[in-house]
Amino acid sequence: MDFLTILQITDSGMRLATPLLFACLAGLFSERAGIFDIGLEGKILVSAFFSAGVAAAFGSVWLGLLAGLASSLSFSLMHGVASITFRGNQLISGVALNYFASGITILIGSAWFALGGRTPSLQDEARFGAVELPFSWTKESAEAAGMKLNEAIAQAGPVQQFYSELLSGHTILVYVAIAMVPTAWWVLNRTRFGLRLRAVGENPGAVDTSGVSVIKLRYAAMVIAGLLCGMAGAYMATGLGAGFVKEMSGGRGYIALAALIFANWRPWHALGATFLFGLLQAIANRYQSLDLGGVTIPVQLMEALPYILTVVILAGFIGKPTPPKAGGQPYVKER
């Protein structure tokens, strides 16, 4: 395996990890505030559908992104009403939203486009295009040099290969996802809002005693989680893919929760955990079978690796995670 192949697999891993990273950060904010959010899967799915549907209908990826954000935010607020206002079981509420998203996307999609729950294939302005950074090889610059893009990158030096193949050429939401990691760390650890949010997940009674509204903080966390899941779904349908298909979230919401546990509810660790899942999926996509010292690993096992790793993490083999102490517990204000 040469250097360029490694870069290409890593590049694919970054793309596949992006929706996981958005969803993982969404779960980070909600669970740090004491709200377990099993409904990440449903929010990703409904955002993917409405972003693709609106983008296909109006020919604008930005309108599609707004529709995806709005739909995910509405689901997040429904979860907030059920678990915060009415103090319902957070796990049941999240699972109900997942089933609701699965059904409503097929129902509306069939009525809207008559394609069995799918949306039309997205083209041109209805999809996010690649952002080519300055001084990187592009299709146009390669043609100007009388070469194909793959040939130009293959003949470039390792530094230029790293820059053109790995750093450049992603959609804008990939860069937004990476930028959200230091932003989330700064918000949670260096702002008054973040410190209060973390305190709500550990000891909501103490926060309430200090005169800060636990309800408002938890709803704020749900709003942030809804917006982040909205970007995850929109990226899947209009950046990573070219439209919506049934159940296209493919369990990514659950994998994001496993990555969150793996990351021990820390933003920088979340980046590494989600990239690991994305890298495993990229390897499985590239190699139909992998030969390791005479032992051939079938493609079915390679495709199952991210889910096997999820089971291993949830079984507690990767250390003992420390969740927020008040996580999953409805807060009842003392009178």
User: What confidence tens digit (pLDDT) does each residue in 159-210 have?
Assistant: 888 888 889 989 999 999 999 999 999 999 999 999 999 999 999 999 998 8
Return the pLDDT at 323: 84
Long-range contact set of residues 181-187: C-beta below 8 Å, sequence gap at least 24 = 181/21, 181/25, 181/267, 181/268, 181/270, 181/271, 182/267, 184/25, 184/28, 184/29, 184/267, 185/266, 185/267, 185/268
Return the pLDDT at 284: 81
- C-alpha angle 252-257-259 in degrees, rounded to nearest 5: 90
As a dihedral over the C-alpha atoms of residue 192, residue 198, residue 202, residue 207, rounded to 10 degrees, the angle is: 30
281 pLDDT above the threshold of 80: yes
Residue 319 or 46, more confident:
46
What does the block give as tokens for 323? 């969740």
* Closest among 20, 5, 6, 56 to 272, alpha carbons compared: 20
Task: List all residues 6 or more positions away from 213 whose beta carbon is below 8 Å from its beta carbon.
Answer: none
Distance CA 265, CA 217 (A): 18
Return the pLDDT at 149: 72
Return the pLDDT at 228: 97
User: 89-115 as b/e, with b when 16 or more CB fall inside 10 Å?
Assistant: ebeebbebbbebbbebbbeebeeebee
pLDDT category at 292 given cuts 50, 70, 90 is low
Residue 248 or 312, more confident:
248
Total residue length of the chain = 335
Instruction: Average the pLDDT over 244-251 and give the result.
Output: 92
Distance CA 85, CA 99 (A): 21
Q: Are the C-beta atoms of 268 and 141 separated by less than 8 Å?
A: no
User: 310-326 as b/e, with b when 16 or more CB fall inside 10 Å?
Assistant: beebeeeeeeeeebbeb
Q: Give the count of beta carbons closer than 10 Å to the beta carbon of residue 297.
A: 15
Q: Give the count of beta carbons closer than 10 Å to the beta carbon of residue 177.
A: 26
Residue matched to tokens 């200090």: 210
What does the block give as tokens for 8? 């290409």
Q: Are the C-beta atoms of 237 and 19 separated by less than 8 Å?
A: no
Return the pLDDT at 2: 77
Q: pLDDT tens, 92-121?
A: 999 999 999 999 999 999 999 988 889 999
What does the block give as tokens for 303? 């495709």
Return the pLDDT at 90: 93
